[in-house]
């Protein structure tokens, strides 16, 4: 989930150390390693506290407006978002789902509400990208194979994929959607929300995150310089869509909607060939 949490260990900083345990998380300068050390955040399940964890600056949407959006669930609770890319496969973030042949997680499709409606589907297996690096949140992708083929309709259908290395124009408007916690960590947003944000030049984004190790070619950034709109905790693994294609997967960032720090997403075009190899999509 584009999480909002305390930080774990250092990112690539003066010490040369890297962080552990990623997610769309909160980055702060309160180091658990040494005072003032810049870090990337820990995943939501390791969080000790959270605030304002939802699509920030957004609006409620009906599932039919984003019918590719799904909820990844564990023990009956929403943990991450995901996207339908075929009748058999879901794309999400690696920090949301580790490789497993008999996963316990399930998927809810076809509902605007996080906790009811639609269908609950079982998974056959989870395939995490083999180069996923949790220390720097790189190659943050997992593919989820459904136990049975999904029958598509106007409330749950596929989103198109880009070609390998297909670029996204700087400033292109992208839509990010998902569910997440409200200001109280004990409550959650009931209805699906979305917000529209522009893609950010790669060099400018890497400069913005220079104290945290920058961004890699497997990442794409989106957001406003002044902040105010962003994904947040509970949205990780969900889609960033532009031009009718999923261009990003919600991954990490400094806080949520903070001025000067765009959201960081996993760049789908960078692993298109891997998606094809695993899923035949």
pLDDT at 100: 84
Q: Which of 47, 50, 95, 230 is catalytic?
A: 95
90 and 152: one domain? yes
Let me know if 236 is a catalytic residue.
Answer: yes
108 and 177: one domain? no
pLDDT at 24: 52
- DSSP letters for 202-225: HHHHHHHTGGGT---TTEEEE--T
Q: Which of 21, 86, 112, 140 is catalytic?
A: 140
135 and 178: one domain? no
165 and 154: one domain? no
User: How confident is the model over 212-234, as pLDDT tens digits?
Assistant: 999 999 999 999 999 888 888 78
185: confidence class by pLDDT, cuts 50, 70, 90: very low
**DSSP conformation class of 137:** T
Residue 23 lies in a domain: no
Q: Which of 236, 242, 270, 279 is catalytic?
A: 236
Let me know if 95 is a catalytic residue.
Answer: yes
- Confidence check: pLDDT of 4 > 90: no
User: How confident is the model over 241-277, as pLDDT tens digits?
Assistant: 999 999 999 999 998 889 999 999 999 999 999 999 9
* b/e per residue 37-49 (b: at least 16 CB within 10 A): bbbbbbbbeebee
198 and 254: one domain? yes
Domains held by the chain: number: 2
155 and 220: one domain? no
165 and 75: one domain? no
Residue 59 lies in a domain: no
Q: Where in the sequence is the domain holding 97, given as residue range(s)? A: 68-159+272-279
Residue 128 lies in a domain: yes
Q: What is the CATH number of the domain that holds 205?
A: 2.40.10.10
pLDDT at 46: 33
Bigger pLDDT: 66 vs 232: 66
Residue 202 lies in a domain: yes
Residue 226 lies in a domain: yes
* 44, 85, 105, 259, 276 from 245: Cα distances, Å: 27, 10, 26, 27, 15
3-state secondary structure of 9: strand
Question: Whole-prediction pTM value?
Answer: 0.84
Residue 50 lies in a domain: no
Q: What are the φ/ψ torsions at residue 211 (nearest 5 degrees)?
A: -75, -10
pLDDT at 153: 97
90 and 123: one domain? yes
% of the chain beyond a pLDDT of 90: 68
99 and 139: one domain? yes
167 and 149: one domain? no
pLDDT at 144: 98
Average pLDDT over residues 137-152: 97
Dist. CA 68–CA 89, nearest whole Å: 11
151 and 171: one domain? no
User: How confident is the model over 16-29, as pLDDT tens digits?
Assistant: 333 333 345 555 33
pLDDT at 40: 52
213 and 148: one domain? no
């Amino acid at each position: 989930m584009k999480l909002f949490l305390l930080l774990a260990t250092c990112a690539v900083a003066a010490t040369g150390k890297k962080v552990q345990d990623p997610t769309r998380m909160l980055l702060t300068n309160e180091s658990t390693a040494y005072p003032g050390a810049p870090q990337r955040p820990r995943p939501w399940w390791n969080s000790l506290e959270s605030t304002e964890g939802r699509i920030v600056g957004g609006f409620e949407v009906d599932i039919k407006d984003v019918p590719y959006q799904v909820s990844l669930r564990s023990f009956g609770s929403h943990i991450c978002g995901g996207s339908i890319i075929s009748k058999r496969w879901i794309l999400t973030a690696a920090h949301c789902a580790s490789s497993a042949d008999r996963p316990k997680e399930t998927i809810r499709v076809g509902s605007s509400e996080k906790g009811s409606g639609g269908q609950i589907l079982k998974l056959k297996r989870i395939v995490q990208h083999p180069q996923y690096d949790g220390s720097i949140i790189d190659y943050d992708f997992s593919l989820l194979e459904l136990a049975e083929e999904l029958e598509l309709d106007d409330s749950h259908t596929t989103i198109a994929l880009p070609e390998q290395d297909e670029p996204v124009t700087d400033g292109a408007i992208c839509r990010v959607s998902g569910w997440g916690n409200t200001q109280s960590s004990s409550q959650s947003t009931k209805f699906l929300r979305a917000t529209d944000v522009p893609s950010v030049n790669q060099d400018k984004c890497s400069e913005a995150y220079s104290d945290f190790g920058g961004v890699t070619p497997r990442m794409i950034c989106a957001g406003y310089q002044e902040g105010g709109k962003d994904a947040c905790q509970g949205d990780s693994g969900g889609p960033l869509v532009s031009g009718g294609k999923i261009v990003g997967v919600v991954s990490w960032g400094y806080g949520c909607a903070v001025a000067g720090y765009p959201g960081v997403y996993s760049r789908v075009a960078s692993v298109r060939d891997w998606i094809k190899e695993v899923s035949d999509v």
